[in-house]
A = this chain, B = another copy of it.
Amino acid sequence: MKNRLKILRAENDMTQAQLADETGVSRQTINAIEKGKFDPSLPLAFRFARLFKLSIEEIFQDEEA
């Protein structure tokens, strides 16, 4: 699963720590998601979408067959 979190942080001038704080997870969790180590839970995906005022599909791109 690809995602645009790093770009969205840049557009909004946010650090990983700030995004972590705003979405209620650890900085390391943000880093791991950005690096594709794992996917966020659906509730966390909704929090990203709400924060950036985008749809989940605009932030995360499925890569399944």
Copies in the complex: 2
Minimum CB distance partner of A50 in chain B: B62
Q: How large is the interface on A (under 10, 10 to 19, 20 to 34, 35 or more residues)?
A: 10 to 19
Which one of B40, B43, B57, B62 contacts A62 once the chains associate, using CB atoms below 8 Å?
A: B43
A11 an interface residue at 8 Å Cβ cutoff?
no
Contact check, B39 vs A43: say whether CB atoms are below 8 A apart: yes
A1 an interface residue at 8 Å Cβ cutoff?
yes
Contact check, B64 vs A1: say whether CB atoms are below 8 A apart: no
User: How far, in angstroms, from A1 to B49 measured CA to CA in the complex?
Assistant: 15
Contact check, A41 vs B41: say whether CB atoms are below 8 A apart: yes
Which one of B40, B43, B64 contacts A46 once the chains associate, using CB atoms below 8 Å?
A: B64
